[in-house]
Amino acid sequence: MEALQFKFHPLRYALAKAVGTVYPAVFTSKAGCLAYGDVLEPELPDSDWVKIDTVMGGICGSDLSLIALEDSPSLSPLASFPFVIGHENVGIVREAGETAADVEVGQRVVADPLLPCAVRGFGTPCKSCRAGRPNRCLRFTSGNIAPGLLLGHCRDTGGSWGATFVAHRTQIIPVPDHVSNENALMSEPFGCALHAVETAGRPDGRTVLVIGGGVIGLSVIAALKILSPGARVVALVRHKFQAEKAKEYGADEVLSPRGNQLYPAVAEALGAKLLKPVIGPPVLVGGADVVFECAGSPRALNDSLRFAAPGGQVVLLGLAAVPRGIDWSFVWQKELHVQGVFASGPIETPKGPVSAMQYAMDLFAQGRVDLSGMVTHRFPLRDYRRGIAAVTAKKKSGCLKAVFIPDTTVAREWTEGRRAANATVTEVTAAL
């Protein structure tokens, strides 16, 4: 089958890492760790699993960090090489194991990408899974499949950057007929955003700063309006098209300052005072009650600590890997609460806890949220270099979310109809 794999090789890794700082194209060349071609379809690990033909596979910021070799090597034991990339997914069930009869063949689904205890064949869950926190599972390297935190990081499951992948029946979330492929695909990043807002304690009545106008930042804004409609949301974004989406999804104020205007603009929006140190950027007295860092850069992380109010929360969604140049003195001086967020967890509802991805799908089905407009670009899988370039050069391309579509009959049948129905989606390549 057609697929994009990450193949770790020490020599290629070292070469691409060295050359990539001056020639980023090396990461998608044959000298890097990314490989396009035909690979064997993954097999069902046991009868609880299903085989899914990919309709769309999303390109996530974490995928770009992986390809650009920015991920910390410390996380390498939590993956198994080589693996087909891609955890954001929409697909059609082609085959179901004997004990996965609750999953219907021919059904359109998304798969929660987490690979915790239940997926790995453990009848008795670890303490994290038992507490309803599968994103904190203690057995991501054990069980009847190879190590991997997620689909798209495990050699046995495949990923959505391939024509077919497999998933455990407990991962399956059916897509209602009236929910578009785009919204279905967004259930994963939106689920992560809902989980982040839940983790922050649903900050109603407080001032919230969202740093980053990409998919995760915009999803957090939308999630705040669902879970914390009483919060005042200030968004800090880079590009005009991001600012327009931030307003559309509910930000009360949107900032796009440049250069020396950054600190004065943020201070004014947050009602803070600026002080000038003997050297370095200004220091805020005051700030946001909660800061969501969604850009995944060292600068954004540094700014998050500076822009938070004393006693405030800093919630980290962006993947800064091994950041440099961070002034951690504000964590101490302001007594900040710094919280990391990985994947998605449970959302409390009047009917009890529901997985964040399922909750996202329910919101789409009820028409309470529509994030389909975030999917701005789509590419055949064979055009992966153009797809990655579009996501990397957002200012030039105007890209928010790009997706890969494999060259299969199933993918064509499920995408051609909706392309005709929604001409606003950018067509950047020849017809599939």
DSSP 236-254: E-SSHHHHHHHHHTT-SEE
Q: Are 216 and 294 within 8 A, CB to CB?
A: yes
Angle between helices 409-421 and 181-199 (to 10 degrees): 90
Q: Which residue has the tokens 């007594």?
A: 335
Angle between helices 181-199 and 356-366 (to 10 degrees): 130
10 Å Cβ neighbour count for 29?
14
Q: Where does 193-340 sit in CATH, by number?
A: 3.40.50.720
Nearest to 343 by CA among 163, 134, 184: 134
- Look at the pTM and tell me if it is higher than 0.75: yes
Beta bridge partners of 207: 232
The rounded distance, in Å, linking the Cα atoms of 228 and 155 is 39
Residue type, 324: R
On whether the 2-174+371-427 domain is CATH 3.90.180.10, my answer is: yes
Q: Are 331 and 338 within 8 A, CB to CB?
A: yes
Cα 427 to the chain's mean position, in Å?
A: 23
Nearest to 35 by CA among 204, 161, 195: 161
Residue type, 375: V
Question: What ranges do the domains of the chain cover?
Answer: 2-174+371-427, 193-340
**Residue 154 contacts by C-beta under 8 Å, 6 or more apart in sequence?**
79, 80, 83, 115, 145, 146, 147, 148
Q: Are 246 and 239 within 8 A, CB to CB?
A: no
Predicted confidence pLDDT, tens digits, the chain (432 residues): 999 999 999 999 999 999 999 999 999 999 999 999 999 999 999 999 999 999 999 999 999 999 999 999 999 999 999 999 999 999 999 999 999 999 999 999 999 999 999 999 999 999 999 999 999 999 999 999 999 999 999 999 999 999 999 999 999 999 999 999 999 999 999 999 999 999 999 999 999 999 999 999 999 999 999 999 999 999 999 999 999 999 999 999 999 999 999 999 999 999 999 999 999 999 999 999 999 999 999 999 999 999 999 999 999 999 878 888 899 999 999 999 999 999 999 999 998 999 999 999 999 999 999 999 999 999 999 999 999 999 999 999 999 999 999 999 999 888 876 544 443 334 433 333
